[in-house]
Structure 1
Amino acid sequence: MTTFVRAGYHADIRTVEYTAENGDRLLRSGGTLAWRLNNPGNLRPSRLYEGVIGTADTPNGRFAIFASPEAGRTEKRKLLRRGYDHLSLRDAIYKYAPPNENDTEKYLAFVKRRTSLGENTLLSTMSDAQLGDIMAAMEQMEGYNANQETRRERWVYVTSVSLSDGARPLADYPVQVVRNGSPTHVRTDARGALPAMVTTTDGEEVILLEATDAASEIGRITLEQRSRSIVLSRLRDIFEGVSQPHTPTREAATPPSPAPVRYVVQPGDTLSMIARRFRTTNSQLLQANSPTVRHADKIRPGQVLMVHTGAAASNMGSSPQGAAPPPIAPTRYTVRRGDTLSSIAARHGTDTASILAANRQSVRNPHLIQPGQRLVLPPRGTSTAATAPRTTRPVRRHASPTVGTRSRENEGHPLAIVPLTQRRAPWMEHAYAEATRWAGRTEDVIGRTINYHHELGTKWLKSLSGSDNAWCASFVNWCLREAGYTISKDHFRARSFVSDANFAQIDAAIYGALGVVGTSHVGFVYAKAVNGNPIILGGNQSDQINFAAFKKTSMRYYVPLTYLEFARTEVHDPRLDVSTVATLNAELGIAVNSHAAGSTR
């Protein structure tokens, strides 16, 4: 049986579009609204209902769309038992179908005639079979099965193609799509996805080409009578780096200090290792990252460090040479719900280091800003990086990016400055930042600032609090989205990753893998305990964002499909840090909520 995970209502053509777990889409039109919505009881949206996969805005108001008619009937039965059990049949009908919307007396007479029940009979005294008879009569009265001759259903099969470098989606990548000999120029979206391809002819071959003069082939896709998600990896050996001129001028011989490198700590890193890699020192790293790093032996994966490389590190604190340019007036910005320093910087044409420099007194922790807080933003286009004459040349990929500016053996031959790219689970910095930001605060506090359901577009889940608002999956999907990855279709359900074609199962716990506990909880693999059990960084753990250990026998592991190629290189050597839950939580000031200890909902 097909399981639908999402639905939307096209009011202009009165059609419901259902999306199945495998990506197939069903278009349903005609019949009655209740039939189109799988909603025999014409129920309005409510957080109390399970099986709701969408809502429909109609001239008569909003109605819930259920995954199946059975799901709709189940929720109607629960509603009658929950809110109507103490009422007589007459009072129940008047409450369910009030006179301002219905001919309630006619409605009551019809139900009595179909069930042979008296209007003064209490619902609490009725058997499940009798309640079922009432529901069947109400369903007929509501017109669920009317206009059957006009019902129309049509399946649509969609092939989704994404481009990846093996670890990250390739966003805004130019592609030429050739179908039936006709080329169309498109670009991938922010998640690396091309526009969906609908199967019109079974077996049609689609050719994907580089949208360049060379027009080299990326791949060929065969469209079928089924929906699929496909990732094509574009692993390139050459990419752009920036080098100094071969014969530097006097001015270029002593270039201004570059902007600090933004480095995300990886499993196994130590401060001294990072210092050696970037030709700086522990003390300079501590100075540049105070107060977020207070001890050289306490850095953790996912933590972001600002690293001044080489000569830039030795010049920290020195005055710049030459006269300053005329000042440009900064702007002021009020932090909004869901903002991070990096998202604010991206929108306003600057960088996080510049914002931190302009707000030293008010922003002491780059991961902790609050809605309503006022920030000073540097002028658009400015950053802490000074500019210098540059030429560009292709540079071969190295295992470790080159970040210095000195030539080999000081021979005067320039080395390129290759942008630092970190491919290992980029979403983990967002998860760690949220854990740092909230420092053990519970979901009722977190939800006043950010609702991860709402951030991903599910407005009917009004809160993070309560047993009906489990948010572990929405937290995971939010972190993935912030890092530029596709989210699961049924994003608020932990089990969505198990069946979503945009995610792939792997055989071992690697850093950043999505650890699914049964089908009811999901978080990120962060480290491992001494006994080998994975330590999960996740939301909705004891009503918090915290670290918790789970038995490895209860876990399955998944990664985004665009990350799969890189993940496979780590499965045989996961290189997870060994730690304890108590240590990790204590370092972020997280006191596990004892009133909900172990709860994952």
Structure 2
Amino acid sequence: MRFVKATYHLETKTVEYEAGDGTRLLKTGGTLNWRFNNPGNIMALPDASKQKGRIGAGTVYNPKENTFAIFSSMEAGEREKCALLKRKYRDNTISDMMSQYAPETAGNDPVAYSNFISSESGVAKDKKISDLNDNEFGKVVDAISKKEGGLKPGTEKWVYVTNVTVSDGSRPVADVPFKATLGSTSYEWKTDAYGKLKTIIHTKQGMAIVVKYTNSAGKEDVVYSAVAGDETKNILLTRNFSQFSAKTLAETPKAPREKSAQKPIEYIVMSGDSLSKIADRYKTSADEIAKNNNIKDVSKIFPGQNLTIYGVNTNGSSVYIVAPGDTLAKIAEKNGGNVDDIAQQNNISDPNKIYPGQSISIKKNGSNTAGETEKSAVNPPTLKTASKKPLQNRKVNTNKKALESVGGKKSGNPIALLPHDQREAPWMAVAFEEGKNRWKWGRVREGDGGINYHKKTGINMSSMVGDSNPWCASFVNYCLKESGYAISGSASSQSFSKNKNFVKISQPIYGAIVVFRKRGSWTGHVAFVYCKFKDGEYGVLGGNQANSVTVNPLKKVYLEQLNYELIGYYVPASYHPNAVRIVKNGGDLSSDFESIDKLRKNLGSNMLTLDDTKTR
């Protein structure tokens, strides 16, 4: 079990270790260095990133106030103790070292400490750390652990949890109210921005867990029930927010639509797309889309790329999907309508009775009409009005409105259009924008990008520059966070394979998180699966690749040149149902590019070199 977070409870002398899936280990009593997984009782530095393996800190009074580092494992604490001795005290004798390692100001006796180390290890007090052979160094290290308390154990208790995430099959759903009954106590909870309920801790074996949702009829439905046991469970509740319909306007072909009545659609290119396919879908031409988006070669578009496509008839009616917490008054105010008109035209007998997932037709000019339903389609597009703001600053559209009529920029007649699923790996749009605009596909190097992905994702690392500040995981977390998904909360590339917010899938798909590991190590690399080339190679889009953001070849760089292990492919838990559907349908990753060199050339990136194997 790999722990990612630790909290110290001083009053009970207990360290609460939390694993990626939420499971807890409580270490109570014993010596401090045993509780903290800190054999050398190393003080906590202000910058946690400078102590590898540290996942927390705890303040004690012995008798003075001191704050010590808490490590993910005893092995991690032992490694950091050895690294500290070699890094900080290599030019000191044992006597000199102890005046700093165990100073009088912290309530120690450095002379007695050095005498104990020398006597216990058989190494002279005046011998420098750098002059010790491996055997002598090992004995000094063991002597320090013995002096610091001998790792006398206390008691250990495992505590398991249940994690509940709510999804619409592709995205997490926020603000959904539930009633959770744990044993004899009930709580009113709502899902957070990542679709997650509060963690249910199994405080007692055999405790009943019941989660209920109040349906549109006011009746409580049990959506999950279980008995708390000795295992952690990650539960995904998938909600189908009804089907969505595209409406056709009344046929009035005599007056062409004015350009002022058209608004552009922001479309994100998906895997397997071509300009001709997109043009056909939106009843326009490839040449027109190319002209509006400055595309010189109509055969070269890229997954994640933003396109502006004309145009929505803003005078038409649209379909609004009721969200949790909505009322008819709120919907009317939001869309410039009238409650009575909306109720009448949608056959709503009681304006106080609407329910999440319900489709409501709204006329934009204030006059509402139910209209005729031509066809129905599942999973509407996530479409937004084009904006000059950077992609990462835009809000994800959760309104899920169906398009009424879309045609070419010069079209004179409304054309009925079924909504298109635009929810494929939304985080890839952020990744593409970062690579294109900020990093110029590898031509801008770390330190010059004007951003610290660590800070943006809550990691206490002051820089992305240097071997001690790897940022591939923080880049992945940033892209996920900006598109509304839960993150791993760690700068470790391996965190995605251990965290409850992510689920492993059987094969690579567009946007999947691919995790590599250095053989015999807990470090490695993480990136997004981007495409499959005609030569059979896969492209991965990631940060900390050649000290920038680029697309690298998966096999050539990571499996062959670096000899990493492929740990697997992962997706956010709330996206898993959609990923399963994509895998079932074949998961098309094919691209028009023959090789990585062709793709890089078209992106304007540097050609592949040995620098691309640089990853920390």
Name the TM-score class by shorter chain. Answer: 0.7 to 0.9
Task: Mark the runs of 5 or more structure 1 residues left unpaired by the alignment.
Answer: 314-349, 351-385, 408-413
Shift of the 298–247 alpha-carbon distance from structure 1 to 2, 3 Å rule, reads closer
SS at 2:301 equivalent: coil
Given the alignment, which residue of 534, 548, 556 partners 2:538? 534
* Cα 1:31/1:511, change in 2 over 3 Å: same
Shift of 1:172: 1.7
After superposition, the C-alpha distances for 1:383-420 in whole angstroms (9 at most, x for unaligned) are xxx9532548697434776523489xxxxxx9999876
Aligned in 2, Cα 1:257/1:418: closer, same or farther, shift over 3 Å? farther
2:365 to 366, 385, 388: 388
Shift of residue 542, structure 1, vs aligned partner: 1.6
Q: Matches of residues 485-524 of structure 1 in structure 2 within 5 Å?
A: 485-488=485-488, 491-518=490-517, 520-524=524-528
Give the match's secondary structure for 1:389. Answer: coil
Preserved CA contact (<8 Å) 1:280 1:309: no
Residue of structure 2 equivalent to 1:383: none
- The residue aligned with 1:472 is 472
Answer yes or no: is the 8 Å Cα contact 2:243–2:378 preserved in 1. no
Residues 10 and 59, structure 2, Cα contact 8 Å, conserved in 1: yes
Q: CA deviation at 1:487?
A: 1.9
Q: Which residue of the other structure, out of 568, 571, 587, is the alignment partner of 1:574?
A: 587
Q: Per the alignment, in what secondary structure is the counterpart of residue 551 of structure 1?
A: helix
Residue 139 of structure 1, aligned match among 145, 157, 165: 145
Contact 1:451-1:464 within 8 A present in 2 as well: yes
Contact 1:243 1:392 in 2 (8 A): no
Deviation at 1:299, TM superposition (A): 1.9
Distance of aligned partners of 1:208 and 1:131 in 2 relative to their CA distance in 1, 3 Å threshold: same
Task: Give, in whole Å, the separation in 1 of the partners of 2:182 and 2:260.
Answer: 51
- Residue 124 of structure 1 aligns to a residue whose secondary structure is helix
1:80 partnered with 2:85: yes
Summarize the Cα distance change of 1:77–1:103 in structure 2 as closer, same or farther, 3 Å threshold: same
SS of 1:565's equivalent in the other structure is helix
For 2:600 and 2:34, locate their aligned partners in 1 and report how far apart those are by CA, in whole Å: 50
Identity %: 34
- Say how many residue pairs are matched: 512
Q: Secondary structure at the match of 2:481?
A: helix
2: CA distance between counterparts of 1:216 and 1:120?
74
For residues 133-282 of structure 1, the aligned pairs below 5 Å read 133-143=139-149, 145=151, 151=154, 153-180=156-183, 183-212=186-215, 213-238=218-243, 257=261, 259-282=263-286
Q: How much does 1:125 deviate?
A: 3.3
Aligned position for 1:328: none
Task: Say if 2:3 and 2:18, in contact at 8 Å, map to a contact too.
Answer: yes
C-alpha distance in 2, partners of 1:390/1:14?
Answer: 67
The residue aligned with 1:89 is 94
Separation of aligned partners in 2, 1:390 and 1:281: 33
Change (3 A) 1:467 1:499: same
1-structure distance, mates of 2:549, 2:20: 28
| Per-residue Cα deviation, 1:334-361 (whole angstroms, up to 9, x for no partner) | xxxxxxxxxxxxxxxx9xxxxxxxxxxx
Q: CA deviation at 1:558?
A: 1.9
CA contact (8 A) 2:310 2:406 kept: no
Contact 1:41/1:139 (8 A) holds in 2: yes
Which residue pairs with 1:375 in the alignment?
none
* Amino acid corresponding to residue 103 of structure 1 in structure 2: D
Structure 1: how far apart are the matches of 2:288 and 2:313? 12
Q: Residues of 2 paired with 1:598 and 1:270: CA distance? A: 31
Partner-residue secondary structure (3-state), 1:105: helix
Aligned to 1:558: 570
| Correspondence 1:50 to 2:52 | yes
Alpha-carbon distance change, 185 to 538 in structure 1, aligned in 2, over 3 angstroms? same
Distance in structure 1 (CA, Å) of the matches to 2:246 and 2:534: 44
Q: Distance in 2 between matches of 1:183 and 1:211?
A: 14
Distance 1:8 1:273, change over 3 A: same
Contact 2:249 2:404 in 1 (8 A): no
> Is the 1:528–1:535 Cα contact (8 Å) retained in structure 2?
yes
- C-alpha separation in 1, matches of 2:175 and 2:607: 42
Q: What SS does the aligned partner of 2:447 have? A: helix
State the secondary structure of the residue aligned to 2:493.
Answer: coil
Tell me the amino acid that sits aligned with residue 558 of structure 1: Y
In structure 2, the CA distance between the partners of 1:226 and 1:415, relative to structure 1 (3 Å rule), is farther
Deviation at 1:283, TM superposition (A): 4.8
Q: Aligned partners of 1:138 and 1:208: how far apart in 2? A: 51
How far the C-alpha of 1:258 sits from its partner, in A, is 5.1
CA distance in 2, matches of 1:88, 1:505: 50
| CA deviation vs aligned residue, 1:82-119 (integer Å, no higher than 9, x gap) | 33233222222223234444432232233334334332
Cα 1:20/1:583, change in 2 over 3 Å: same
3-state DSSP of counterpart to 1:267:
coil
The counterpart of 1:107, out of the listed 93, 106, 113, is: 113
Shift of 1:537: 0.8
Match in the other structure for 2:348: none
1:416 and 1:392 mapped to 2: Cα distance? 16
Question: Could you say what secondary structure the match of 2:162 adopts?
Answer: strand
Cα distance in 2 for residues equivalent to 1:181 and 1:392 = 49
For normalisation by structure 1, the TM-score amounts to 0.75
8 A Cα contact 1:278 1:403, kept in partner = no
CA–CA distance in structure 2, aligned partners of residues 479 and 422 of structure 1 = 17
Looking at structure 2, the residues matched to 255 and 13 of structure 1 have their Cα atoms a distance apart, in angstroms, of 70
Write out aligned runs for 1:335-354 (5 A).
Answer: none
Report what 1:596 is aligned to: 611
| Contact 2:165–2:195 (8 Å) recurs in 1 | yes
Aligned to 1:444, the other structure's residue is in SS state coil
Equivalent position of 1:484 in the other structure: 484
- Residue type matched to 1:108 in 2? S
Structure 1 SS opposite 2:111: helix
TM-score by length of 2: 0.73
What is the CA distance between 1:208 and its match in structure 2?
2.7
User: Post-superposition shift, 1:492?
Assistant: 1.8
For residues 483 and 188 of structure 1, the distance between their equivalents in structure 2, rounded to whole angstroms, comes to 17
SS in 1 for 2:175: coil
Call closer, same or farther: CA 1:416–1:171 in 2, change over 3 Å. farther
Task: Give me the CA root mean square deviation.
Answer: 3.8
Alpha-carbon distance change, 123 to 203 in structure 1, aligned in 2, over 3 angstroms: same
Secondary structure of the corresponding residue to residue 69 of structure 2: strand
Equivalent residue of 1:532, what SS? Answer: coil
Could you say which residue in structure 1 is the equivalent of 2:435? 435
Q: Distance in 1 between matches of 2:250 and 2:212?
A: 36
CA distance in 1, matches of 2:259, 2:293: 24
Q: Distance in 1 between matches of 2:458 and 2:219?
A: 40
Distance 1:400 1:128, change over 3 A: closer
CA distance in 1, matches of 2:259, 2:368: 14
Change (3 A) 1:546 1:255: closer
CA-to-partner distance for each residue in 1:417-472, whole Å, 9 max, x for gaps?
987652211111111111112112455335x622222222220x332222222222
Structure 1 residues 75 and 199: alpha-carbon distance in aligned structure 2, compared to 1, 3 A threshold: same
Note if contact 2:206-2:228 (Cα within 8 Å) is conserved in structure 1.
yes
Asked if the contact 1:510/1:525 (under 8 Å) is kept, the reply is yes
CA, structure 1 residues 526+237, in 2 after alignment: closer, same or farther (shift >3 Å)?
same
**2 CA distance for matches of 1:503 and 1:591?**
32
CA spacing shift, 1:247–1:268, aligned 2, 3 Å: closer
User: Given the superposition, is the C-alpha separation of residues 550 and 181 from structure 1 closer, same or farther in structure 2, using an over 3 Å criterion?
Assistant: same
Corresponding residue for 1:379?
none
Q: Do 2:59 and 2:68's aligned partners in 1 also have CA atoms closer than 8 Å?
A: yes
Question: CA distance change for structure 1 residues 581 and 104 in 2, over 3 Å: closer, same or farther?
Answer: same
**Structure 1 position 425 matched with structure 2 position 402:** no
Q: 1:14-36: per-residue Cα shift (whole Å, max 9, x none)?
A: 64321124431123344454333
Residue aligned with 2:15, SS: strand
